[in-house]
Amino acid sequence: MDFLNKTVVITGAGSGIGAGCAKSFAKEGANVVLADINEQAITEIANDIIAEGGKALAVVTDVTKYADAKFCCDSAAEKFGTIDVVVTCAGGSELRICGAHGEFHEIPIDVFDFGIDLNLKGAMYFHHAAFGYMAKQNSGVIIPIGSITGADGGYDIAYSASKSALMNGVVKSLAIAGASHNIRAVCIAPGPVLTRPAMAGMKTLLGRAAQPQEIVDAIMYAASEKGAFLNGTTILIDGGRNALPRV
């Protein structure tokens, strides 16, 4: 999976799967653009990549603002010349992030608005901001990150709805929009991943949660020439959680 001189833009690059993607793509020769609201985290990761001989650019970004997404993609293209891959990792449960508790009707609607802005619109903002560069160069790969919750549903309804949208309408529509420009779209949808300790308690047929690198490897495969026939589809990498009996 050679990404030499390819430019990869990664949202949520300050931690978890996003940070893992940044490091792994850089090791394969990519120019890595790290987008995250956490300036310290992405600066440290970018500096580590550069110290090891790689190429990286850290761009402080609030993915819920289209202007930030546009600025990040413009900065990536200006510095490295192309945008070849976009991986939209930024996201998370609105209930957890906002510290909201209670039944659905007891949760302030602003919490769900935030969840949609972060998980759905934040991803689509980057897809849109990068698409023009990919169309101009007649190549590119867009990788939204879904979730088993997009298939299962959950109490964090905005997160669940957003991930379901990315795994279905968004990835298929991006593939259709990109067909004439040689732009592929592949959604990677993880089950439980050990980016947080709580994930260890989610059941799978394999009896464990994934290591973050297992998800990163799937993302890199989909983005590479090895995955060149993948398009308009979702890869559910969940250890068999979706196949568990529902009784």
Catalytic residues: 159
Please report, as a single letter, which amino acid is at residue 96. R
For residues 99-132, one letter each, b for 16 or more C-beta atoms within 10 angstroms of the residue's C-beta and e for the rest, the string is ebeeeeeebeeebbebbbbbbbbbbbbbbebbbe
Q: What stretches of 106-211 show up as alpha helix (H) in DSSP?
A: 109-116, 122-137, 149-152, 157-165, 171-178
For residue 148, what is the DSSP state? T
Largest CA distance in the chain: 54
Residue 244: alpha-carbon gap to chain centroid = 25
